[in-house]
Structure 1
Amino acid sequence: MAGAAHFIATARTDGRDWLVEAAEPLSALQLRSGGELPGIVATPALLELVRKSRKYGLRLARAIQAQDDSESVTAWVEIEPDEGGEGCRIGLTNWQSAPLNAEDQAAVEQRREAIERHVAELTARLGPKQEVISVDCDSEELADVAKRLREGQGTRWTDLVEIAGDTRHHDLHWRLLDGAKLVIPGSPRKWKAVLLPLGRAEPGKAGFDLLFVAEEPPAAEVKKKEPPKSVFSTAIGRDIAPVLRQPISRIIANAETIRTQLAGPLSEEYSKYAADIATAGEHLLALIDDLADLEVVEADEFDTAPDKIDLADVARRAAGILGVRARERDISIDAPKAGESVLAVGEFRRVLQILLNLLGNALRYAPEGSQVWLRAERDGARARITVADQGEGLSEEQQAKVFEKFERLGRSGDGGSGLGLYISRRLARAMEGDLSVESAPGQGARFTLDLPAFDDRRRMRR
């Protein structure tokens, strides 16, 4: 990294955003923040910059704030991606720290939980007795374990997974199982279990989230295989999108370089112009993704993979993902409380995609200082999740058109493609559900995703 001599500390990350090398004081902050070395970057602000630098191939220079269990830290960070795009080099200057107030300990624990959730390759929802309720897993290494957990729904998870060096795990308190080493047949990596209790008054009374976290990055031979090309992956998804993404990413990269003044001092006015260019480029990338999704959902061969999901849990995840955007606009998100559960039949990834679209729209059009609600409920054989805002609302004419392709209801400056709601309704109907809206001018909008409710006696479509 050019000019590395003026840094008080340097570090290096790999293609998974794991911190593989770090000098003091960053290495100590990584460990005190609940991370490991090597391990995923444990400072959220630094992790966000590393991801952006690696994704767009751009150099970044920013001030960051962080805290561990004992102190609050501010520093100036400069990040430069490796030429191969597999990692980044980090330099730090102007490091300043101050003692942390005791009441901030809860924030430290929340940060640790957020990191564990991010790196987990299997997530299971458990009941109060640690019995398996639902499982979400995309890792090929954990496919057999995930299948065993799904088939053992209602059984305590420790009866279905081998815990290293312990034959008395049936009687262990959940606190002693948190961090337990796991034996995963066929996996060359070391794994641990993370148990996150639900229910504030009495931790665990409302159940647990069980996470399987690898203690090391995957070996080369364990890397995921490329997914097979879909028969309906046509012009945009297969041919046009890859060609457009590269030049647009370079536009974003160059604009960010100008905005952060890495190329030299710049007046504030031109720095704002560069920020506008970067934002426009990001909107173009989002449009490309929408168009690729459009091809998928309109293909004759398109289908979903229904499974048992918890709508309340998916809503909480969506609220967590968009929490920063909400805080930036001073909008509070009232999501289902921990312990609330509404079981439905649907594809987890697609339901999350729909809720992120609905919640993103609500945050875009709701006034600053307002509130957005997410409510999950069951009504007989149907399960529903509603996203409601305090925005301007929609007239009857607008409601009739809101789900049409490329319909943006006259909004020309929000960067949207007019495809999100159209795609979301197509996804809902592919899962034997629907997406509807209720609104009136001046009274906000309420979008409701309706899906088949899960019933143990009902065989899910395969």
Structure 2
Amino acid sequence: MNKPGQPFIAEARSDAHDKLVEAQEPLAQLQHRCGGDVPGVIAIPELLSLVRKSRKYGLRLARMIQAIDGDELVRAWVEVSPLGSEVEGIGGDEGGCLIRIANWQSAPLPPEDAAENEARKLAIDRALAELSARLDPQQHILSVESVAPDLADLARALRGSKSQAWSDFVDFPGLGSMPPGAATLHWRLLDGAECVVEGSDRRWNVTLLPLGKPEVASAGFELYLTAQAPYSPPPAVAAIPRELSIGSSIGRELSPVLRQPIARIIANAETIRTRLAGPLAEEYSAYAADIASAGQHLLALIDDLSDLEIVESDQFTTAPDQIDLADVAQRAVGILGVRAKEREIELVAPGKDEGLIATAEFRRVLQILLNLVGNAVRYSEPGSQVRIELAHADERILVTVADDGPGLTPEQQAVVFEKFERLGRTGDGGSGLGLYISRRIARAMGGDLTVESTAGEGARFILELPGAA
């Protein structure tokens, strides 16, 4: 199976546990530079994958592999033969493999794509952020969310002072102090800066993402605060309650404790999946993708349970305002656009000239639309459409999310808004809480959420809201 004209330049041998028991140069040096030893488990990911397949199936396999060797990318032709078979006089190590190397080539690593690296960094910052906010072009707070107990006071202050820049509420040791009444620092100075928050013992890194085109930041900013160290809760909070009551303990006590380690698992899994640490066999990349997906499911479940606690509270209220529903719909489509594109589903939102004004809380309406559109994308067939439509009904505004999916039977429609109801589906990542929470929020805003559907002909979820006064 050797390539014609490519003599072997090195040999090595592995045992039944995929340990490299002996190796010639340059393979031995690459094993060390990848963090392994001789003898030791094979540390070159693509070589390890090939050896395992050869040993498992008892076949002689050959292909090109690649690995990172310092600042160089190494490519080599590798032939792996199970020992114990008749391989040119070598035997006595049944279960291991003979490894032969040919056509060894090394070249400088290609330059990294700056845009791709920046997108990956932003995705990790979003996953790890313990405070996120939406800012207007003057860096004033529009909305803020926080999962960190030591940022609770900051989040409360930001929500109550929307006419001030967010940077007035934190200190920047590396930027010096701002004189009273001075203009807000330029966002490029704040992006990547380190800040200190009163009431928190941790240091925080700032990520500011400008929104809007063609003029940068014309649509405002996304703000993320990421901690430099994990949160260490007081002993009384660190202990998990002996009797856990869903809806009374998850959001208040466990959510802040669980979110950060799960977010770090997701970020590390994504780093592995995208091969940032070097070449990796496809099956290991798939494993990392499964880990990240499971972590996202856990985070979504924690969010749902936290929301469940909030919406079932007797004190739950919303903050109604005059909002343009076309704008909210376009933002929901923008957020879910990548997921829809992966499933080959077209998202259709009303245009800016189709806007209707309702009296509702912007953040809560967006939350409902993200749930409805996300469900439609999840259950629709590739090549279909998911549409958001607006209409007047007397003094009410109707926002309809329509899909071309399998639809719902009358029996399913009767229970679809019940708590933990998943209509018999398993393994789809849902918690069965999204529609229940969405209807509770809609009714708290003086509206309602209903469904119209015929099995096999798609579904229409209708959000009813009060029109503008």
Match of 1:6 among 65, 71, 90: 71
Counterpart position of 1:108: none
Residues 1:137 and 2:142 aligned together: yes
- Percent identity between matched residues is 55
Question: For the structure 1 residues 244 and 279, does the alpha-carbon distance in structure 2 shift closer, same or farther, using more than 3 Å as the test?
Answer: same
Q: How does 1:199-278 map to 2 (within 5 A)?
A: 211=219, 234-261=248-275, 266-278=280-292
Residues 1:188 and 2:184 aligned together: yes
Counterpart position of 1:431: 445
Residues 1:365 and 2:430 aligned together: no
Q: What SS class does the counterpart of residue 279 from structure 1 fall into? A: helix
The Cα shift of 1:292 comes to: 0.6
Match of 1:49 among 114, 117, 120: 120
Match of 1:309 among 319, 323, 328: 323
Counterpart position of 2:47: none
Q: What SS class does the counterpart of residue 339 from structure 1 fall into? A: helix
Q: What SS class does the counterpart of residue 405 from structure 1 fall into? A: coil
Q: What SS class does the counterpart of residue 353 from structure 2 fall into? A: coil
Q: What SS class does the counterpart of residue 345 from structure 1 fall into? A: strand
Q: What SS class does the counterpart of residue 438 from structure 1 fall into? A: strand
Question: For the structure 1 residues 306 and 4, does the alpha-carbon distance in structure 2 shift closer, same or farther, using more than 3 Å as the test?
Answer: farther
Residues 1:440 and 2:445 aligned together: no
The separation in 2 between residues aligned to 1:292 and 1:259, in whole angstroms, is 29
Q: What SS class does the counterpart of residue 441 from structure 1 fall into? A: coil
Question: For the structure 1 residues 4 and 277, does the alpha-carbon distance in structure 2 shift closer, same or farther, using more than 3 Å as the test?
Answer: same
- Does structure 1 retain, via aligned residues, the 8 Å contact 2:133–2:142? no
Question: For the structure 1 residues 446 and 145, does the alpha-carbon distance in structure 2 shift closer, same or farther, using more than 3 Å as the test?
Answer: same
Counterpart position of 1:339: 353
- Does structure 1 retain, via aligned residues, the 8 Å contact 2:319–2:360? yes
TM-score by length of 1: 0.55
The Cα shift of 1:52 comes to: 3.1
Question: For the structure 1 residues 49 and 376, does the alpha-carbon distance in structure 2 shift closer, same or farther, using more than 3 Å as the test?
Answer: same
1:187-245 C-alpha deviation (Å, 9 max, x unpaired): 43358999979xxxxxxxxxxx964569x999xxxxxxxxxxxxx99521221112222
Counterpart position of 1:396: 410
The separation in 2 between residues aligned to 1:314 and 1:370, in whole angstroms, is 22
- Does structure 1 retain, via aligned residues, the 8 Å contact 2:417–2:436? yes
Question: For the structure 1 residues 243 and 195, does the alpha-carbon distance in structure 2 shift closer, same or farther, using more than 3 Å as the test?
Answer: closer
Question: For the structure 1 residues 241 and 341, does the alpha-carbon distance in structure 2 shift closer, same or farther, using more than 3 Å as the test?
Answer: same
Q: How does 1:98-177 map to 2 (within 5 A)?
A: 121-122=135-136, 137-138=142-143, 143-144=162-163
Residues 1:282 and 2:353 aligned together: no
Counterpart of 2:162, as a letter, is: A
TM-score by length of 2: 0.54
Question: For the structure 1 residues 210 and 266, does the alpha-carbon distance in structure 2 shift closer, same or farther, using more than 3 Å as the test?
Answer: closer
How many residue pairs get aligned? The number is: 293
Q: What SS class does the counterpart of residue 354 from structure 2 fall into? A: coil
Counterpart of 1:358, as a letter, is: L
The separation in 1 between residues aligned to 2:461 and 2:186, in whole angstroms, is 43
Q: How does 1:78-97 map to 2 (within 5 A)?
A: none
Match of 2:465 among 447, 451, 457: 451
- Does structure 2 retain, via aligned residues, the 8 Å contact 1:123–1:137? no
The separation in 2 between residues aligned to 1:49 and 1:186, in whole angstroms, is 34
Match of 2:430 among 389, 413, 416: 416
Q: Which structure is larger by alpha-carbon Rg, 1 or 2? A: 2
The Cα shift of 1:137 comes to: 2.6
Q: What SS class does the counterpart of residue 388 from structure 1 fall into? A: strand
The separation in 2 between residues aligned to 1:195 and 1:324, in whole angstroms, is 18
More off after superposition, 345-354 vs 375-384: 375-384
Counterpart of 1:297, as a letter, is: V
Counterpart position of 1:377: 391
Counterpart position of 1:93: none
The Cα shift of 1:270 comes to: 3.3
The separation in 2 between residues aligned to 1:190 and 1:268, in whole angstroms, is 43
Structure 1 unmatched runs, 5+: 8-24, 31-42, 58-84, 87-117, 125-134, 147-183, 198-208, 219-231, 456-462
The separation in 1 between residues aligned to 2:133 and 2:248, in whole angstroms, is 32
1:36-80 C-alpha deviation (Å, 9 max, x unpaired): xxxxxxx4x4443102334557xxxxxxxxxxxxxxxxxxxxxxx
